[in-house]
Amino acid sequence: MESTIELLQREFQTGTTATDRVRAEVAGRITAEVDRICTESRRIQSSGDVLGWAHSLARHRLQQTLRYYQLGSQRGRTELHSTLSAIIYRYISPARSRTSYQARLLAIEDFLQGFYVESLAAFRRENVMPANYTPRVRLELAEYMAFVERYAKRRIPLPGGRSQQLIVLRAQTFARQQPPETSIDMEQAAESGSDNSEGYSWDDASVQQVRNQIGAKESTEVMDGALRQAVVDELIAYLRDRDQEQCVDYLALRLKDLSASEIEKVLGLNARERDYLQQRFKYHLIRFALMHRWELVHQWLDVDLDRDLGLTPRQWEALLGQLGPEAVKLVKLKRSGLDDRAIAQTLGVGASQVQKLWFKLLEAAWEIRNRTESGARKGTDE
């Protein structure tokens, strides 16, 4: 059976373009770390399969390193920053506060910069490296980022038989040094923001495409990264203009694909409080997608008005027939570039009536597209 260092060198030779020297040095450091763990662990020593444990631990570190290597310098840093930010979010800025989203991001940024310095010092110390060592080539940087993630997640024993991740303990210490936050009444805040939610749910047809696309990690089939970011930025601005900072926080966590239980844990909410927040966010997302910036959202989804809102000719004709002559006139005026006030004057109705009719038309188009896509998926599955 090949040794741990032979295993690592073989995999690094296959999976990277690093020089022989760099591959050997990185493999040697990982092997030394694994050997140290195996030597110090009574459980591993008494298992009767020390080499098997060593290979398992080495493969875990190998996979982490190769993952960051494949991401590259910029994307790797972003991924590491995102991973650590999600862990410490609730500890850096308590959920029951009026701290702005931007202020929270700045606090997290300040903390993590200090943590990266600590991690580099630990990396040098544990690998017996010069005090001025800095990772410079791609594989060295990937090795360091993988080490930082493991270092952050180390379990530190606490009194009472408990343990906690190292980065959480550091974040708690950092947070205690910050000014105290002002608590708010979650229930009251939720009720004030969701009284017009009209029973929409996160999975309703009218919001399903926006939900899926905003949360998509790879959306180049629909839009480029700049347009996606524009939608996210506009939605955040929309929420902030309405004093919905908690909805901004909820959006940030949804963008990380966190589950409901994970969101509750990160924000420090119980199920009822999280449900209030979710309902409020749903309401604002629908208003944003179908009224406030419908042009941008529909351009993003490639279903703008020039494309009949993404409907087939038959579907488009049926929709206009269903909504009546006013809808036909409204579409014609919208396509001419008139704003709602000018359209209202032309039709001889109030601006609010124009907005209601347009909202109804967009909502109906969302539902038709969703039914079409659902039917297509079902047919594929069958």
The pLDDT value recorded for residue 99 is 53
> How far apart (Å, rounded) are the C-alpha atoms in residues 200 and 278?
11
pLDDT of residue 299: 58
pLDDT of residue 194: 34
Strand (E) or helix (H) holding 310 = none
C-alpha dist (Å) from residue 42 to 32, 60, 161: 17, 20, 18
Are 273 and 186 spatial neighbours (Cβ–Cβ below 8 Å)? yes
State the pLDDT at residue 105: 73
pLDDT number for residue 125: 92
Tell me the C-alpha distance between 185 and 284, whole Å: 20
pLDDT given for residue 209 in this prediction: 53
Domain 303-382 has CATH 1.10.10: yes
pLDDT given at position 306: 67
Q: According to DSSP H, which parts of the chain are helical? A: 4-15, 20-40, 42-45, 50-92, 101-126, 138-152, 166-176, 186-194, 205-215, 225-241, 245-255, 260-267, 271-287, 294-300, 313-323, 325-335, 340-347, 351-381
The CA-based angle 258-262-264, given to 5 degrees, is 120
In which residue ranges of the chain is pLDDT below 50? 95-96, 98, 180-206, 217-224, 376-378, 380-382
In the chain, where the domains are located:
4-176, 198-302, 303-382
